[in-house]
């Protein structure tokens, strides 16, 4: 991707690299443009480079090569406190000896704001996160969820145009984490701020983001809206990291107009969208999402590929059932189906005919 750092986005990484030891690149020649008002999530495993990118944007790390631009201006040499960026961390980073109000007042005092103006902004920020009655409490008197709301309010109190969030919900329990996801997204939509969010939680990324940049080995593997990323992964890493994914290995028999015929290792021939394969004879992995699998003849769509399967395990998950099947030589083929009234329940040991539409199968990386 080629970017024009002064015109292409509100935040721009222009050929940015980062190394800590002078040899190994943690971030490799990153080009990235983020629009004003966008909620962009940097998603990836530990060590993939996502947090380093966030820290360079915040000013806590310096790019080894390349330039970062904010609203058209280069910021590599601008100290963190002069970038006007709000930050929310996983560990909240609240001052324990200060009250909630004093914690929120601190970034306003640094900016030389009058007492009256500070008080008005503090109450407005606390009301945003439904914490208006807690201004005189100390952080230790608050629950984890309440502390995270205060950390969010402190990041917003000085009306930054850009807010960075580093695993902000990682310390919360599942129910509270899901609630806070919607709260953060609500504030983003209401305030129109630009958010760059770092997480390793794929569900969190899919729920909140306008776009997701999937990182691995210091590079963006794919950047796209959540639905595009999930439905049309561009490589095996993205398909495996975003959601659950079935993998069938085989060899390309034929490619015509973006569609490949793949002879599986077990001998069956299936059709798939040719994503990263380009010629006959290439070995590849075919990716199919578990919820795209059908198992009753009346459910099978026209043109569906069908294979015999043996049910090995069925796990009840409330709204869905997750079946592990033996298919085409693998014992790790997963099918998910809805738990509805009258739905056929599969049992271990049962033999069924399963199928999927060829468009839902993607021939990804050569192997």
CATH code at position 318: 2.40.50.140
Cβ neighbours of 134 (radius 10 Å): 19
Helix (H) or strand (E) holding 291: none
Say whether both 313 and 211 belong to one domain. Answer: no
- End position of a domain, from candidates 210, 236, 262: 236
The band of 342, judged by pLDDT with boundaries at 50, 70 and 90, is confident
Does a structural domain hold residue 140? Answer: yes
Indicate whether 325 and 183 sit together in one domain: no
188 and 264 belong to one structural domain: no
Q: At 348, is the pLDDT very low, low, confident or very high (cuts 50, 70, 90)? A: very high
* Any domain includes 152: yes
How much is the pLDDT for 209? 96
Give 256's strand partners.
259
Between strands 320-327 and 305-316, the pairing is antiparallel
Q: Residue 258: inside a domain, yes or no? A: yes
Q: Quote the CA–CA distance of 212 and 110 in Å, as a whole number.
A: 33
163 and 221 part of one domain: yes
Q: What pLDDT is recorded for position 3?
A: 57
Same domain, 144 and 187: yes
Alpha carbon distance 271, 72 (integer Å): 47
Q: Is residue 31 a part of any domain in this protein? A: yes
- Are 275 and 196 contained in the same domain? no
The 8-class DSSP code of residue 294 comes to B
Q: How far is Cα 53 from Cα 18, in angstroms, rounded to an integer? A: 9
Distance CA 8, CA 83 (A): 19
In a domain, 4, yes or no: no
Answer yes or no: do 199 and 348 share one domain: no
Domain finish residue from 204, 236, 268: 236
Least confident of 33-37, 78-82, 312-316: 78-82
pLDDT tens, residue by residue, 173-229: 888 888 889 889 988 998 999 999 999 999 999 999 999 999 999 999 999 999 999
DSSP classification of residue 105: H
> How far apart are the C-alpha atoms of 241 and 223, rounded to whole Å?
13
**Same domain, residue pair 257 and 217:** no
Here the tokens at position 360 are: 């839902």
Tokens 């049962």 correspond to what residue? 350
Average pLDDT over residues 262-266: 93
Among candidate residues 212, 236, 260, the one where a domain is terminated: 236
Name residue, tokens 């059932």: 321
Based on the domain organization, do 266 and 204 belong to the same domain? no
Q: How far from chain centre, in Å, is Cα 159?
A: 25
**What value does the CA radius of gyration of the chain take, rounded to a whole number of Å?**
24
Residue 1 lies in a domain: no
| pLDDT (0 to 100) of residue 7 | 59
Token pair belonging to 208:
């909140």
Q: Give residues with Cβ within 8 angstroms of 235, minimum separation 6.
A: 221, 222, 275, 276, 364, 365
Question: Cα(146)–Cα(302) distance, rounded to whole angstroms?
Answer: 52
CB-based contacts of 197, cutoff 8 Å, min separation 6: 39, 40, 41, 42, 164, 165, 168, 205, 208, 209
Output DSSP code: residue 80: G
Shared-domain flag, residues 147 and 293? no
318 Rama sector, left if φ>0, alpha if ψ -120 to 50, beta otherwise: left
Number of domains in the chain: 2
Say whether both 254 and 231 belong to one domain. no
What would the pLDDT profile of 75-98 be if each residue is shown by its tens digit? 999 999 899 999 998 776 788 898
Q: What are phi and psi of 253, to 5 degrees?
A: -95, -30
* 215 domain residue, yes or no: yes
Asked whether residue 141 carries a pLDDT value surpassing 60, the answer given is yes
Per-residue pLDDT reduced to its tens digit, 86-140? 999 877 678 889 899 999 998 888 888 888 888 999 999 998 888 888 999 999 9
Average pLDDT, the chain: 90
- Looking at the fold, whether 212 and 66 belong to one and the same domain comes out as yes
| DSSP 8-state secondary structure symbol assigned to residue 344 | P
CA angle (334, 340, 341) in 5-degree steps? 140
pLDDT at res. 38: 97
pLDDT at 5: 52
Nearest to 65 by CA among 34, 2, 24, 19: 19
- Is the pLDDT at 6 greater than 60, yes or no? no
Average pLDDT over residues 229-253: 94
Tokens of 214: 């999937």
Q: Report yes or no on 263 lying in a domain.
A: yes
* Full residue range of the structural domain in which residue 339 is found: 246-366
Helices (H), 94-137: 100-110, 115-128
- pLDDT over threshold 60, residue 2: no
CB–CB of 366/283 below 8 Å? yes
Does residue 355 surpass a pLDDT of 70? yes
Residue carrying the six token digits 């794919």: 222
CATH number at residue 92: 3.40.50.300
pLDDT band at 301 (very low <50, low <70, confident <90, very high): low
Give mean pLDDT, residues 360-366: 92
Give the per-residue pLDDT at 1. Answer: 52
Spatial distance between the Cα atoms of 346 and 326, rounded to a whole number of angstroms: 13
Q: Does 71 have pLDDT greater than 90?
A: yes
Q: What is the pLDDT of residues 151-179, one digit of tens each?
A: 889 898 888 999 999 998 887 788 888 88
Q: Report the pLDDT value the prediction gives residue 14, as an integer from 0 to 100.
A: 96
Chain position carrying tokens 């324990």: 96
């Amino acid at each position: 991707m080629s970017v024009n750092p002064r015109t292409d986005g509100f935040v721009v990484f222009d050929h940015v690299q980062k190394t800590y030891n002078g040899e190994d690149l943690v971030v490799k020649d990153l080009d990235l443009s983020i629009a004003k008002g966008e909620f962009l999530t940097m998603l990836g495993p530990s060590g993939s480079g996502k947090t380093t990118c966030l820290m360079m944007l915040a000013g806590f790390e310096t790019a080894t090569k390349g330039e970062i631009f904010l609203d058209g201006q280069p910021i590599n040499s601008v100290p963190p406190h002069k970038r006007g960026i709000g930050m929310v961390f996983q560990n909240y980073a609240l001052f324990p000896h200060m009250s909630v109000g004093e914690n929120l007042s601190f970034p306003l005092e640094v900016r030389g704001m009058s007492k009256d103006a500070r008080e008005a902004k503090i109450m407005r920020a606390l009301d945003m996160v439904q914490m208006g009655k807690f201004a005189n409490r100390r952080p230790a008197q608050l629950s984890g969820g309440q502390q995270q709301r205060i950390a969010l309010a402190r990041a917003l109190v000085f009306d930054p145009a850009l807010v960075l969030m580093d695993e902000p919900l990682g310390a919360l329990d599942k129910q509270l984490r899901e609630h806070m996801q919607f709260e953060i997204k609500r504030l983003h939509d209401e305030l129109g701020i630009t958010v760059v969010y770092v997480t390793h939680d794929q569900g969190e990324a899919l729920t909140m983001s306008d776009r997701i940049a999937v990182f691995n080995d210091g590079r963006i593997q794919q950047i796209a809206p959540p639905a595009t990323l999930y439905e049309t992964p561009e490589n095996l890493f993205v398909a495996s990291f975003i959601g659950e994914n079935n993998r069938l290995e085989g060899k390309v028999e034929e490619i015509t107009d973006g569609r490949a015929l793949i002879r599986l290792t077990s001998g069956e021939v299936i059709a798939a969208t040719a994503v990263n394969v380009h010629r006959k004879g290439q070995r590849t992995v075919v990716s199919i999402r578990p919820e795209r699998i059908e198992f009753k003849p009346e459910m099978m769509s026209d043109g569906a590929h069908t294979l015999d399967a043996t049910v090995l395990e069925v796990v009840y998950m409330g709204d869905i059932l997750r079946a592990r099947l033996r298919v085409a030589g693998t014992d790790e083929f997963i099918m998910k189906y809805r738990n509805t009234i009258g739905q056929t329940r599969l049992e271990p040991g049962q033999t069924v005919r399963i199928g999927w539409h060829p468009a839902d199968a993607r021939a990804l990386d050569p192997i």
